[in-house]
Amino acid sequence: MGRLTLLAALMRRVSVVGMIGLSLSLPLVAQAKDAGKITFVQGSDIDTLDPAVSRSVPSYNVINHVFNRLVAWDGRDRSAVVPDLATSWSKTEDGKTWTFVLKQGVKFHDGTDFNAEAVKFNLDRIRDPKLGSPHRSYYADISSVEAVSPYELRITTKEASPTLLEILAKESSSISSPAAVTQYGRAYGHHPVGTGPYTFDSWIPNDQAIIEKNPAFYGEPGKPSKIVFRPVREDSSRVIELRTNNADVAGNLSPEAAIELQSLNKSDLLRVPSTFQVFFEMNLTKPPFDDPRIRRAVSMAIDRQALVDKVLLGYGKVPTGPFPEGTQARQVFEPVKYDPDAARKIINDVYPGGYPGTVVMWTPAGRYTKDRQVAEVVQGYLNAVGLKTDFKVWEWATYQKSLYRADPGKGTGKGTNDANMWLLGTGLSDADIRLRRKLSTGDPQNLTGYSNPQVDNLLKLAAHEMDVDKRLSYYKDIQEILWEQDPDNLPLFDQEQIIGVRKELTGLDVNYEGTLDFKNVELIKR
């Protein structure tokens, strides 16, 4: 749901794909055949396949094929929520009590029954602090979950909950087999069991994960018989894998790779606008970034247009606000003006003689478009305005564990006190989730330690406002505060998804938030 098919993207190449010389039509003699095994290479590995714990797109690419949720988004614009494992729902006038009628006859992959008790188990589990889910705060408004009958579920919230359906459509709300969770315990992330169109086969970390078609799936079956997900960290290696047909789809491609694929004309190139923005988060609980003046100064020190033009080769956009295009309630502002002289003056005004410490910068490699190179360029801009910097590169899975570790960083939500800045990105299109996860004082997903009473109040008002227009107005007010007064991070660029695809392949769907759907993929015999 909510995806742009490859075929549709190719038919609209001027506005979406932007390729020269791309063949848009297939010979009349072309015949579709079963895709068999489809191999996808991406820049980073899975972190876990437990949907209640995972927070990475590489994992979600697998999770979305193995699991279902009560509801799902319908349409690319995410304008409506539709039934999935629930057939219907209703809510009381005060917005506090929701009743869901569930599908009957659905089985988990281990043969156990899907029912209301299974849903209750999953929602109680993710709300349990013992699990340590990074998504727990999303479910904080839920006061109780009750299995009214085998196929009727009641969710009661503390206050009116206008975003409940949005939360239940998230990957974290995927429904796992209670029997499997109980059986495997802490190892469940390596043995996922859902109800989806594909069953889990195996996962060897840093090697590959394999899922297979579920012959007993209650809905429309997937077309590939097997899907293989492989982490290939070097961008050039992913291109080679695609060129040699060792891979059918290659994600996280760099601009250089895109240009190479175009010149070879051996693969189709898919450029998809996304809600993904890449930024540097900062530890706001200690110098120098505990002072908003320094945060604004550092932002002014970065030439984002040069970053997009020279590093990304035009495959990205200069941010015009905290939210990129396609994000709910997006406000548009003037881009941050590049002014290193003004930035240098502000830093020297706050720290006469210059900041005496070292700004420690962390970045992953292979997760975002040219992430290491982008971070190195930003480091150069910081050095140019008089800041002394240190730099560390991480493998993605280890990076996530360091930032989201169970032991909170000193003074931060669940970040680290070992770095002043760390490169991250998010593609969440839901305004409430996008803001609450990062900004609420004391929220476990607030990595930076950001705390602004005005923002906290607006978030609380929005969280319980059933009037959609009024709720969106609160989100717009928050964006203005972040952009013009009290920034929580340094937006660098709005990211495009660049995906290489075998010319013989059709039916790939891509979500605005970056996940890929392989269920309708076919190989075309020419």
Amino acid letter, 503? K
pLDDT at position 290? 96
pLDDT at position 96? 94
Tokens standing for 316? 């990205």
Give the domains, in start order, of the chain with CATH numbers.
3-43+232-273+497-525 (3.40.190), 68-183 (3.90.76.10), 277-495 (3.10.105.10)
If you ran DSSP here, which 8-state letter would residue 335 be given? Answer: P
Tokens standing for 335? 């881009």
Alpha carbons 18 and 518: distance in angstroms, whole number: 23
Alpha carbons 273 and 9: distance in angstroms, whole number: 11
Burial zone of 251 (CB within 10 Å; 0-12 exposed, 13-18 middle, 19+ buried): buried
Q: How many CB atoms lie within 10 A of CB 68?
A: 23
pLDDT at position 60? 96
In sequence order, the β-bridge partners of residue 523 are: 33, 505
pLDDT at position 373? 94
252 and 238 Cβ atoms separated by less than 8 Å: yes
Q: For 138-174, b where at least 16 C-beta lie within 10 A, e where not — what string?
A: bbebbeebebeeebebbbbbeebbbbbbbbbbbbbbb
pLDDT at position 2? 42
pLDDT at position 24? 26
pLDDT at position 33? 40
Residues of the chain with pLDDT under 70: 1-35, 75-79, 406-413, 525-526
Total number of residues shown for the chain: 526
